[in-house]
Chains A and B, each alone.
Chain A
Amino acid sequence: MALSKKTLIHMYETMNRIRLFEQKLQEFFAAGEIPGFVHLYLGEEAVATGACSVLTDADTITSTHRGHGHLLAKGGDLKLMMAEIFGRSTGYCKGKGGSMHIADFDLGILGANGIVGGGGPLAVGAALAARYKKTKDVTVCFFGDGASNQGTTQEALNMASAWKLPLVFVNENNGYGISCPQCKSMAVVDIADRAAAYDMPGVVVDGNDVLAVHEAVTEAVKRARRGEGPSLIECKTYRWRGHFEGDACTYRCVEELEEWMAKDPIPRFEAKLLESKTLTQQEADKIKASIAGEVDEAVAFAKESPMPATSALMDDVYA
């Protein structure tokens, strides 16, 4: 794969950033310092990283309830994210949104979303706006296997294809919608097969291989920029944690988890980089240490930040 060293290292950094950021969240959630729900992306880092590595800041994404990885991969600011998740006034959404509702419109992040299937129609709109304004920007819609069953998702697939919109549907198939295994919620094995119903390309990729994701999304983005319409890319992956932090996760077996943890996307990619001499072990360690430092700074920033004042409650209800 003819990727520049810069791109490869950036991808490596991004995956580690997501990993360390979320491990920190896991810790603080367990310590009772984070309110509400936290849905971790641990184990799925290759999907967001591979997909977003193809995008520019002007390209847009729609995200999900499990959005930290998408946000970080699209360039989201660790401090602002951390502060938001801690409910602080300095956070991305002034403490009003929390983990499930973070957005950064300057970076084309049209928001994490608490409604499963909520992103598809929004992505259609964003892609429509790009075409309307005659930019060459594309939109990536991230959605889960569970979300793929929602009417909104199917409607979005149909409309995007009928209108040949510059949209890439990136399905993160981690096998479960909360406790419900894929086999209980749909008859198809490959969600990508559904693309046929809308006459768009549908491909299955190894969602734990960041380069495979990158490659598939690159093709789809090219197609979208050429004006040839949307694609559906199904990334087979697995979530390591329960659906949310605190989920006892009794509905799946440990063997399955272990099998997937052995396919950890980060060491796999690291091994490739070491082997091709793109990276030395020393450099790798340095990158990780530096990211750990960024994450600690973000936590410090969040903790030092004030909670929002009650006088701010009614701000931003209307423009």
Chain B
Amino acid sequence: MSEKTYLQALNEALKLEMERDENVFILGEDVGQFGGCFGVTQGLYDKFGEARVMDTPITESTIVGAAAGAAAAGLRPVAELMFVDFIGVAMDQLFNQAAKMRFMFGGKATVPMTLRMPQGAGIGAAAQHSQCLESWFMNIPGLKVVIPSTPRDAKGLLISAIRDENPVVFLEHKLLYGVSGEVPDESYTIELGKGEVKREGTDVTIVATSLMVHSALEAAERLKADGIEAEVVDPRCLQPLDKDIIINSVKKTNALVVAHEAVQFSGPGAEIAAMVAEEALDYLDAPIKRVGAPFCPVPFSPPLEQFYIPDADNIVEAVKSIR
């Protein structure tokens, strides 16, 4: 166990899986010598060579499609898009090809590919480089959607994603790359679809993902001063979604706030809130509250961008409105 950043944890996961399985390879723009747009693939080109860490042309559609094709043909590609926003160019290859191949072909195809994409606002990158798009992917049968919040989770979940037999969309947050935490040195997996309680509490459940887990933990500390004990639940995957961990927590706390950075309208919180309303309404003694981004593209100017991103203040406010 040692202290590592989220970025180092991801890098380690890639390295370990490439060592373990020669069918694992990386493809994407500038992932080679350059080490990836944010540095996640740093050093892997030197270690594994050009044949396994492949710089592609700027062709997202073919990056995703080639990963799907290579996976169907027996390899385990890990493709990187520099920013999740670029998936728009490649969406057909993801949702009509990779995600459906197995089902449409009556189970004949297996598509064990991982698609890593950083998302999120906060670096002044403006509307076409800052979105959180997890709800798009959650809505596509055939894909798994992983969204880690801590270095430890990032490593274990990425290893699981690579070993998974399905196309996995792996969503990283740009602002988390530099966050550090304790990470085991050896290889380990975290089951896809199993959430984690990041903080125990009795008065309200805050289901949060990615960067918002950190905001929720900060909010919980502040609420503690007001005598409110919040439980912070991180599902870690949105598809499959760990229903049990959420329902069980709500049964204990009787109140729910869902926090994510994606646009609130029709965001992942909508699904989680609906699921809780369907399955645990009787346990709720307050309305469900959602915290998410406003219904607009991400603005450039720093004060606007800061205002746009949901934060601990918004979560505290949401909790206080029901507790």
**A interface with B by C-beta (< 8 Å):** 35-37, 87-89, 93, 95-98, 100-101, 113-117, 146-147, 149-152, 177-180, 184-186, 251, 307-308, 310, 312-314, 317
Closest to B127 in A: A101
A96 to chain B: which residues have CB within 8 Å? 126-127, 297, 299-301, 304
**B interface with A by C-beta (< 8 Å):** 29-30, 32-34, 37, 55-62, 85-86, 88-89, 123-129, 294-297, 299-304, 307-308
B308 engages A100 (CB within 8 Å): no
A185 engages B58 (CB within 8 Å): yes
* Nearest 4 A/B pairs, CB to CB: A36-B124, A114-B128, A98-B300, A35-B124
A149 to chain B: which residues have CB within 8 Å? 57-59
Q: How far is the CA of A100 from the CA of B123 in the complex (A)?
A: 13
B304 engages A179 (CB within 8 Å): no
A147: shortest Cβ distance to chain B, in Å?
6
Q: How far is the CA of A98 from the CA of B304 in the complex (A)?
A: 12
B261: shortest Cβ distance to chain A, in Å?
15
Instruction: A179-B55, A184-B55, A317-B296 are known; give 6 further A-B pairs, CB within 8 A.
Output: A35-B301, A96-B127, A98-B301, A116-B58, A177-B57, A312-B304
B58's contact among A101, A114, A147, A313, by CB below 8 Å, is which?
A147
Q: How far is the CA of A146 from the CA of B55 in the complex (A)?
A: 12
Q: How far is the CA of A150 from the CA of B57 in the complex (A)?
A: 8
Closest to B128 in A: A114
B30 engages A178 (CB within 8 Å): yes
- What are 18 sample pairs from A and B whose C-beta atoms fall under 8 A apart? A35-B300, A35-B302, A36-B125, A36-B300, A95-B300, A100-B128, A115-B128, A146-B58, A180-B29, A180-B57, A185-B56, A307-B301, A307-B304, A308-B299, A308-B301, A310-B303, A313-B307, A317-B295
Q: How far is the CA of A310 from the CA of B308 in the complex (A)?
A: 9
B86 to chain A: which residues have CB within 8 Å? 115
Closest to B55 in A: A180
Q: How far is the CA of A308 from the CA of B306 in the complex (A)?
A: 12
Closest to B59 in A: A149
A151 engages B128 (CB within 8 Å): no
A97 engages B126 (CB within 8 Å): yes
A88 engages B33 (CB within 8 Å): no
Q: How far is the CA of A97 from the CA of B294 in the complex (A)?
A: 17
B61 engages A151 (CB within 8 Å): yes
B62 to chain A: which residues have CB within 8 Å? 151
A209: shortest Cβ distance to chain B, in Å?
27
Q: How far is the CA of A151 from the CA of B60 in the complex (A)?
A: 9
A186's contact among B57, B61, B125, B294, by CB below 8 Å, is which?
B57
A152 to chain B: which residues have CB within 8 Å? 89
Q: How far is the CA of A87 from the CA of B37 in the complex (A)?
A: 24
A115's contact among B30, B85, B294, B303, by CB below 8 Å, is which?
B85
